[in-house]
Structure 1
Amino acid sequence: MTIPVEYNWSPNRSVRGDRKWLGFDTIAISCIASTCDFVVLIGASAAGHLLYQQIGSGDATDLSLYVGVGLFIATVFVLAMFGVHAYRPAEIRSVRRQLPLILALLPAAILFFIAVALFLKIGTTVSRGTMITTAGLSVTGLLGLRLFWRHIGNAFSRARFPSRKVLLICPGTMQVEPVIQRATQSGLSVNHIMTIAESDLPVGGMGEAYQRNGIDDVDEVLVAWSDYGNLRALEKCLSDLRQFCVPVSVMFGGVVGEVVEGFAQTVGERRAFQIHRPPLDFFQRLLKRAFDVVFSIAALLVMFPICVMVAIAIKLDSPGPIFFAQSRKGYSGRAFRILKFRSMSVMEDGGNVRQATRNDPRVTRVGGFIRSTSLDELPQFWNVLRGDMSVVGPRPHAMAHDDLYGALIAQYASRRHVKPGLTGWAQISGCRGETPTLDRMADRVQHDLWYINNWSFWLDVKIVVLTIRTMFDRSNVY
C-alpha cells in the first residue's frame, strides 16, 4: 500500500548546501524562471498593443496603459504558477506538464483582469483586439521559454540540475525504487544505497561501514524504514550516524508513516501527531461553499454548449435517457442522487452494481469517449450547487461498493467527514478509474484521508488546476 505524500515534501536543507547548476541553486532558478515569465508577459502586452494598433490604424498611442495591463496579468499568472509549484527546476523543463498549466492559468489571469476592468468601469479603454493579440504573443513567449529551459537542461544533463546527494539507508527487504522515485521528485539524488539488518550489526560502531558506502561523498543521509520488528537496527543506525557532520532524515512507511504525516503539536516535551483533524469551522465551510458555488456556476455557463452537444450525441447513439442518476453516500453518510450523463446501456443502482472495466460491453460508443474525458461528470456541478457535493473531495462510490469497502477497509468511513467531490487528491495522484483490487481501493482511501487532514482553500485550488492537467491522461479510465 502506498502512503500519499504531497509533491513538495522535502527534508531539511543540507548544511553543506545544494549542488549548483550554472552557479545557481533551486530557489535562484525558480526566481529566474518566474522573472523571465514576468518580463515576457509585460513585453507581450506592450507588443500586442503596438502590433494591433499598427495593423489597425497605423498609430500606437498610450503604451503605458498596456504595460500596466501586462504588469497585472503577469503578477496574477506568476503567483498562480508558484501556487502549483510550477517553477521547480524539474517542472520548468517539462513542456508536457507546463503546457496545460499555461493554457489554464494564462486565460484565467486575462479573464480576471477583464472582470476587474469591468468592475472599475474602465473596460472601454482596453481594446479587445489588443487583448487577443496579447494572449497569442504571451502563449508563444511562454512556450518559447519552456523550450529554452528544456534545451538548457538537455545540454547540461538532468544530473546537473540542483539536487542534494543522498546516502539512502534502508532494510534489506525494502523495495528501494519507490523511495528513489519520491526522492527524485523532491530534488534528492540517491548516489549510494546501504541496506542493514539485525545480523549485520557489529559489536562496535558502524562508522567504517558508512564510509565504505559513501557517506563522505553526500550532502545528507535519508533513512527509509518500515521494518518495525527490527527497531534495534534502526536505533543503532541513528546512534552511529551522530558522529558524522551531515543532516539525517528518517522517512517511515506503514502505520507510523501515516501517523507522522499528521499535524504536529507539542505536548510537554514530546511531539504528538494529529491523525484526524477537527471538522472545518464556520469560516472554512463558508469559504469552501463560496468557491463551490462560484466555480460551479462559471463551469456550467462555460460548458453549456458542450453539455448540449453531449446530450444530443447520447440520444442519437443509443436508446435511453440522457441522464443517469444513482444513489451515493455523502457527508456523514447521508444519501443523495448523483447525476451523470448516461455512458452505458444499463442503469444499475441498488445492491448490485458492477464497476466498468476495459472494453466493457455495457459502455456505449459515446459513453467511452465522455468517460475517458470526464465529460460524463459535468451534470454533477448541479449536485454541487444543491449542496450534495463539493468541487474537491473524495469521489463517491455506489452504495453497494460503499457497503463492501466499508466492511473491508477500517478507515473507509472517514472519507465521509467532508462532502464528496467531482475531483480529489486521489484522482490527481494516479488513483483514477477502476479499483480491481482491495489494495488499489485502500491506496485511494489513504489519499482521501490525507486530503481531509490537510485541507486548505489553496489545496482545493491546486487540485482543480492539476485536474485539468490529468484530464489529458486517458489511460486508466474506461
Structure 2
Amino acid sequence: MEQGWVRNRQSRITALYRLFDVLLIQGILYACLTFFEVPPGKDWLIAGLLASVSFAFIAESVELYRSWRGETYVRILGTVTVAWVAVCIFLILLAFSFNTFSADYKRPAVIAWLVSTLFGLAFWRFCLRQVLFSIRLRGRNTRSAVIIGCTDAGYKLADDLMTNPQLGIHVVGFYDVPEFQDRSARERNCTRFPILGTVDEAVAKGRAGGLDVVFIALPMRAEDLISETLDKFSDTTATVHILPNFFVAKMLHARWHQVGSSSLLSVFDTPIQGFDGWLKRLEDLVLASIILTVISPLMLFVAVAVKLSSPGPIIFKQRRYGLDGRTIYVWKFRSMTVMDDGDQVQQAKIGDQRITAVGRILRRTSLDELPQFFNVLQGTMSIVGPRPHAVAHNEEYRSLVNGYMLRHKVKPGITGLAQIKGFRGETDTLDKMSRRVEYDLEYIRRWSILLDLRIVFLTVYRGFYHKNAY
C-alpha cells in the first residue's frame, strides 16, 4: 500500500462504508430468520429495506460517514448507537401504526436482528479502526505536518498528535515567527521538535509539494500575519488549519454557521438542537414515563406523609431559570415550613429549623425532587442537565462565577454531571459553586445520549442519598 492510498480514494471508501452497512443490516436480518426458521416473506423484505434506508438517512444526519481521524472510538460507538436506536424506534412505531405485528413477525427473530445489527455495526467499525491504526503505525497512510508558531498551544498540539498515532499525522517540526514567539515554550521544547525555518520557507516548501498539513498556532493578535500567511498558502496544495489558541478554552460548543456569504464561528452555543434536540426530547419522554409509572405508589405515599406531617400544601412551586434563562416553575414536595421564592432565598443548612421532620428525610434521599419528572413531561426540564438554582441565587452568582449563565444554554435537569461528581446540596463557598458550574459547562461541551445514560446509571447506582443534602 503506497503513501496516501486511502486518502486519495476517500470518497470511494466512504461509499463502500455505506454499502457495507446496508449489506450488514440485510445479512444479519436473513441470518436471524434462518436461525429462528422464519420464512423470509414480503413483510420481512420491506422491514429490511426500511431499516437500510432510514439508517442511511439518520447516519447522514448525525454525520456518521465523516472523517473520524481525531475522534475516540467511544464517540464513534455513541453515534452508531444513536443512529441504529432511532431506526429501531421508527420501525417499532411503524409496525404498531399499521398493525403489522402478525404471526410472521416472531419476537425472538426481531429482537435478535435489532440487537445483533447494533453489535455488527459497532464491531466492524472497531475492526476497521484497528486495521487503519496498524497501517499508520507502519508509516503508511500518514500525513506529514508542520506547525507555524512556537507557542504553548502549538507544542500542546504537537504532543496530542504524537500521543495519537492512529491519526496518521506526523509532526516534522516548527516554523518560527520571532515577533510572536513564546520564548519559554520554545526553550522547554527545543530538544523535542526542530525549528525548520521561517514562514516564507514553509510556504516555499508547500509550493514545492513538500507539505501535507499545516497548523497555524499563532495568537489571535497576529491577525494580519495569519491573513498574510493564509494568502501565501493558497498558492499551495497543503491542507491548512488554524488553532485559535486565544479563546479556544472558553468555547462552549463551537460550530460554523453560514449567513449568506459570511462564515460565523459560534463561541457560546448549545449542542442540543435539530436532530439532537429531538433525540434528547424523546429520551426525556421515554425515561420520565417509565420512571413515573414505577414510582407512582411511592409518590402517593410521600404526598400523604407531607400532608399529615405539617400544615401547608403538598407541592412547593419555585421560580427557576430554564432554557436560555427563561423563568420556569419547578415542582417539589414541600420539605420546609416556609416557601421562599423572593429576591432572597436562604439555602438549607445543617440543623436548619425550617425543615420539617419528613422534609429532612425527603431532602436526604432526594425524594422531594420526584415531582420534577412532571416538569420533564411538560418540557421545561430534562432528566439530565445542570440543576436549576433559585432565581435569587442565579442573580447572586452570575456576577461572581465566570460563565455562570452559560449553564442555561440547555434545559435544567433532575440530575447532572456535577451531582454524580459530588457537588450536590449546599454551596456555602464560592469555590463549591465554581466547581459545580465547571462540571455543568463540561456536560454541555461533551453532551451525548451516551453521557446522559451514564449519568442516569451512576445516579441510580450510587443512590439518591447524599450527606451534603440538608
TM-score range, shorter chain: 0.5 to 0.7
2:5 match: secondary structure = coil
Match of 1:352 among 336, 339, 347: 347
Match of 2:15 among 3, 21, 31: 31
Root-mean-square deviation over aligned CA pairs: 6.0
1:20 maps to 2:15: no
1:113 maps to 2:91: yes
2:34 match: secondary structure = helix
2:99 match: secondary structure = coil
Q: CA deviation at 1:128?
A: 2.2
Change (3 A) 1:341 1:71: farther
1:122 maps to 2:113: no
Name the residue aligned to 1:156. 135
Change (3 A) 1:174 1:215: farther
Cα distance in 2 for residues equivalent to 1:289 and 1:142: 24
Q: CA deviation at 1:115?
A: 1.6
Match of 1:193 among 146, 154, 174: 174
1:42 maps to 2:26: yes
Name the amino acid aligned to 1:467: D
2:330 match: secondary structure = strand
> Which consecutive unaligned segments of at least 5 residues does structure 2 have?
182-196, 304-308, 350-359, 424-430
Match of 1:389 among 381, 384, 398: 381
Structure 1-normalised TM-score?
0.60
Cα distance in 2 for residues equivalent to 1:440 and 1:185: 34
Deviations 1:368-394 (A, max 9, x none): 9x99xxx99886442133343367987
Cα distance in 2 for residues equivalent to 1:273 and 1:93: 24
Say whether the 8 Å CA contact 1:296–1:384 is kept in structure 2: yes
Deviations 1:65-92 (A, max 9, x none): 3233122223333433443334456489
Name the residue aligned to 1:134. 113
Cα distance in 2 for residues equivalent to 1:323 and 1:353: 18
Cα distance in 1 for residues equivalent to 2:69 and 2:226: 34
1:246 maps to 2:256: no
1:467 maps to 2:452: yes
Deviations 1:230-267 (A, max 9, x none): 55654665566566553544342445996996645469
1:252 match: secondary structure = coil
1:408 match: secondary structure = coil
Say whether the 8 Å CA contact 1:165–1:189 is kept in structure 2: yes
Say whether the 8 Å CA contact 1:20–1:162 is kept in structure 2: yes
Q: How many residues align?
A: 406
Q: CA deviation at 1:445?
A: 5.5
Q: CA deviation at 1:304?
A: 4.4
Change (3 A) 1:353 1:80: farther
Cα distance in 2 for residues equivalent to 1:174 and 1:289: 33
Structure 2-normalised TM-score?
0.60
> Which consecutive unaligned segments of at least 5 residues does structure 1 have?
1-17, 54-59, 279-283, 355-363, 452-461
Q: CA deviation at 1:113?
A: 1.2
Q: CA deviation at 1:111?
A: 3.4
Match of 1:218 among 211, 222, 226: 211
Cα distance in 1 for residues equivalent to 2:391 and 2:107: 50
Greater relative contact order (Cα 8 A, min sep 6): structure 1 or 2?
1
Say whether the 8 Å CA contact 1:326–1:398 is kept in structure 2: yes
Say whether the 8 Å CA contact 1:166–1:188 is kept in structure 2: no
Name the amino acid aligned to 1:168: I
Deviations 1:110-135 (A, max 9, x none): 33212212222322252323212323
Q: CA deviation at 1:407?
A: 0.8
2:215 match: secondary structure = strand
Name the residue aligned to 2:57. 79
1:406 maps to 2:391: no
Change (3 A) 1:272 1:85: closer
1:207 maps to 2:185: no
